């Protein structure tokens, strides 16, 4: 047992480490991995041949509030550990040791590079095994959940002019994700027309549309830390504007009939004048 970390029971009833190898090199790492996996609730203490009276300081760096794939992972930092041989390890919520590092420097760093999504909303713990005791700091795992892709509801046909001043196109989603996505309608130049963060539907009012973008696509977007989820929609032209730009069939028929009546009136007048001159 000369190269193993051994748990013992002291006379005063407190659990302690009875011995520790003098050289915490490659032989120590597997010992910590196998023998200290159960250190997650009780307070244990161990002695080394080169102890230190300094109190370590522990902190977390680059730990995202919501864990996203390919993001920098959470780093546990232990400082002021003196020159005593120490070990730092991450444990999952079930107490299983995931990663560990040993050394006798003034500080140790260990990054939590992998997580299990089944532990969402639970705490990972970083333990520092030091001559002064076991020091722990926790990180609550929050897995970012992507929103559902948006869909369009009750939107007028793009090719049919609309004369309804209250017409809208409604974009909906079954889930905003976690954290909640920003729900927004963007114009063709990527300017927000309307937006919300707490509703699962968002209406694009035709009355708010800019005439500059006639015939161009607007985008309904769910902006989220996992990415953007979008769908496009081109609003129809307004009926009132269509009347300004073109004539209806009835108007054209009226103009033709009016022109014919005017010509007939002129011809009748000319015939009347010719008859009077003949007399």
Domain locations in the chain? Answer: 6-140, 151-240, 247-278
For 253, list phi and psi in degrees, rounded to 5. Answer: -60, -40
- Give the CA-trace dihedral at 47, 51, 52, 58, to 10 degrees: -50
User: Per CATH, is 151-240 categorized as 3.20.20.70?
Assistant: no
Same fold, 6-140 and 151-240: yes
Backbone angles phi, psi at 127, to 5 degrees: -110, 135
Give the pLDDT of the chain (279 residues) as one tens digit per residue.
332 232 222 333 333 333 332 333 333 333 333 333 332 223 222 222 233 445 889 999 989 899 887 666 899 999 988 887 899 999 999 999 988 888 877 889 999 888 888 999 999 999 999 988 999 999 999 999 999 999 999 898 888 877 787 889 999 999 999 999 999 999 999 999 999 988 999 999 988 888 888 889 999 999 999 999 999 999 987 655 444 444 555 667 777 777 887 788 777 777 766 666 665
Q: Which of 130, 114, 108 is nearest to 32 (CA)?
A: 130
Give CATH for domain 6-140: 2.60.40.1930
- 234 three-state secondary structure: coil
Note if the pTM is more than 0.75: no
- Close Cβ partners of 70 (under 8 Å, ≥ 6 residues apart): none
d(CA 102, CA 108): 8
Residues whose CB is less than 8 angstroms from the CB of residue 275 and which lie 6 or more positions away in sequence, other chains included: none
CA angle at 51 for the pair 80 and 6, rounded to the nearest 5°: 115
Q: Closest Cα to residue 182, out of 169, 166, 168, 194?
A: 194
């Amino acid at each position: 047992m000369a190269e193993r970390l051994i748990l013992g029971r002291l006379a005063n009833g407190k659990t302690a480490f009875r011995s520790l190898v003098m050289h915490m090199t490659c032989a120590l790492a597997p010992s910590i991995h196998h023998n200290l996996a159960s250190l997650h609730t009780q307070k244990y203490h161990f002695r080394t041949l080169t102890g230190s009276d300094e109190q370590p300081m522990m902190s977390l760096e680059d730990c995202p509030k919501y864990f996203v794939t390919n993001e920098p992972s959470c780093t546990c930092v232990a400082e002021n550990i003196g020159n005593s041989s120490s070990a730092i390890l991450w444990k999952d919520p079930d107490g299983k040791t995931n990663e560990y590092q040993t050394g006798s420097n003034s500080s140790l760093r260990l990054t939590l590079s992998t997580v299990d999504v089944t532990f969402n909303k639970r705490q990972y713990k970083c333990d520092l095994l030091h001559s002064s005791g076991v020091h722990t700091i926790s990180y609550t795992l929050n897995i970012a959940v992507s929103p559902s892709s948006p869909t369009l509801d009750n939107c007028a046909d793009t090719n049919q002019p609309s004369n309804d001043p209250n017409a809208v196109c409604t974009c909906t989603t079954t889930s905003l994700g976690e954290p909640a996505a920003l729900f927004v309608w963007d114009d063709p130049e990527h300017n927000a027309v309307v937006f919300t963060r707490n509703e699962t539907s968002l209406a694009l009012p035709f009355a708010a549309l800019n005439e500059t973008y006639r015939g161009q696509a607007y985008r309904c977007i769910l902006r989220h830390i996992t990415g953007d989820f979008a769908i496009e929609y081109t609003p129809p032209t307004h009926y009132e504007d269509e009347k300004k730009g073109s004539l209806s069939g009835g108007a054209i028929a009226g103009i033709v009939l009016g022109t014919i009546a005017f010509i007939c009136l002129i011809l009748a007048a000319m015939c009347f004048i010719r008859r009077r001159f003949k007399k």
